[in-house]
Structure formats: C-alpha cells, structure tokens
Amino acid sequence: MFRLRPESGVATIAVKVEGRVVHVPAGASAAAAMLAAGFRSIRETPLTGAARGPYCMMGVCYECLAEIDGAPNRQSCMIEVRPGMQIRRQIRAPRIDPTRQSS
C-alpha cells in the first residue's frame, strides 16, 4: 500500500516502530514511518476499538494519534522522526500515570 520512493542520495534515519527498526528519509513524520513499516492503522478508538489510520497528514483530523517515546496521544503526522525514536500504535485509551510530570 505505502512504499517509500527509491530516491538516491536521501539520508535515512533509523527509528523503531512496534519494536522493529525501520529506515525512513530524514524529515519524514512518525506517521510516515508507521506506514512505511507496513501498518495500515496507527490506533484503535477508545470506545469501540475501531482501527484508524492517518487521514489528513497535516494535523487536522487527529486520526494518527500514537505513542512516541513513551508519550501517548501524540499527533504522529506532526512529529519529525529522530534517530532512535520509538513509535508504537495506540491501542484504545492509554493508561495515564498520575505520578508522571508533564513536560
């Protein structure tokens, strides 16, 4: 479904998507990394568990919410990948740790 274009000379960054290493072009979004890893859906809705995938890829629809580096509810289409970034699908409602300080 989604494949990266085979362009020569484009630097890639290694990120982990659901525990597996994926190489994506520098400047790509975390949502693009998930699609490149072969995931059609990035999250499940809290109430019904319906699968959702990135829709607008510009931060309007909120269908791309994911867990990025341990932080839930991140708009993955708006976050540029960084080396070593860990991206996980958000399954239903994330658990909130009341002792964790927000940054």
Distance CA 72, CA 66 (A): 6
What's the confidence (pLDDT) of residue 100?
A: 66
Counted residue by residue, the chain has a size of: 103
Q: Which residue, chain included where needed, has tokens 């991206």? A: 87
Query: For residues 64 and 31, is the Cβ–Cβ distance under 8 A?
Result: yes
What's the confidence (pLDDT) of residue 101?
A: 65
What's the confidence (pLDDT) of residue 15?
A: 98
pTM here is 0.81
Pairing of strands 71-75, 65-68: antiparallel
- Nearest-CA neighbor of 5 among 20, 21, 24, 18? 24
Q: Could you report the average pLDDT of every consecutive run of 10 residues in the chain (103 residues)?
A: 65 95 95 94 89 93 94 95 96 69 59
Was domain 12-89 assigned CATH 3.10.20.440?
yes
Distance CA 2, CA 73 (A): 23
Q: Map out the domains of the chain as residue ranges.
A: 12-89
Residue 29 DSSP symbol: B
Query: For residues 76 and 66, is the Cβ–Cβ distance under 8 A?
Result: yes
